[in-house]
Amino acid sequence: MSKIAVFPGSFDPITVGHVDLVERALPLFDKIVVAVGINSQKKYLFDLEKRMDWLEAVFSNEEKVEVGSFEGLTADYAKKIGAQYLLRGLRNASDFDYEKTISQLNNIIGDGLETIFLIAQPGYSHISSTIVREIIKGGGDASPFLPTEVSL
């Protein structure tokens, strides 16, 4: 059985921190599915098509990475595609507290779905999509935080 991980997120937009996390996780898995979760209650800055295009471009040269999207529970999506693992990044203690609870719930509803946490590299621990969106909305230069494939 191959080791498949889902890296779920809104990726609104994808950041260099997200890319670093996937690159560091590649040796651990046979396949990583970078999956855009769609939440109808959430207001996004960029539409799904643009976010998917960016993900495809960013990971176009990595054969072990696939891009997908889903609605509903992450655990259900993982089951649907045969993934046994979720990949999550931790920037700080607040991330850990939140992600720990979510991982425990996913383990129960996902029939043993395991969450693998990677701690953000120090150079990326200050980057979040939320902050990058604020820079973009404020007319600032967000390019230091975005992969080169992301053009605004």
How far, in Å, CA of 30 to CA of 51, rounded? 24
Given the residues 42, 43, 94, 151, select the one marked as catalytic.
Answer: 42
Would you say residue 68 lies in a domain? yes
Please report the pLDDT score of residue 40 as a whole number.
Answer: 81
Would you say residue 150 lies in a domain? no
Mean pLDDT per block of 10 residues along the chain (152 residues) reads: 95 98 98 95 94 98 98 97 98 94 96 97 94 96 96 84
Given the residues 18, 51, 88, 103, select the one marked as catalytic.
Answer: 18
Would you say residue 88 lies in a domain? yes
How far, in Å, CA of 50 to CA of 94, rounded? 29
To the question of pTM greater than 0.75 for the whole model, the response is: yes
Would you say residue 149 lies in a domain? no
Domain total in the chain? 1
Would you say residue 147 lies in a domain? no
Closest listed residue to residue 70, CA positions, set 36, 109, 31, 32: 36
Would you say residue 148 lies in a domain? no
CA 14 to chain centre: 8
Given the residues 50, 79, 91, 100, select the one marked as catalytic.
Answer: 91
Task: Give the range of the structural domain holding residue 20, as residue numbers without chain letter.
Answer: 4-142
The residue type found at 27 is P
Q: The domain spanning residue 67 has which CATH number?
A: 3.40.50.620
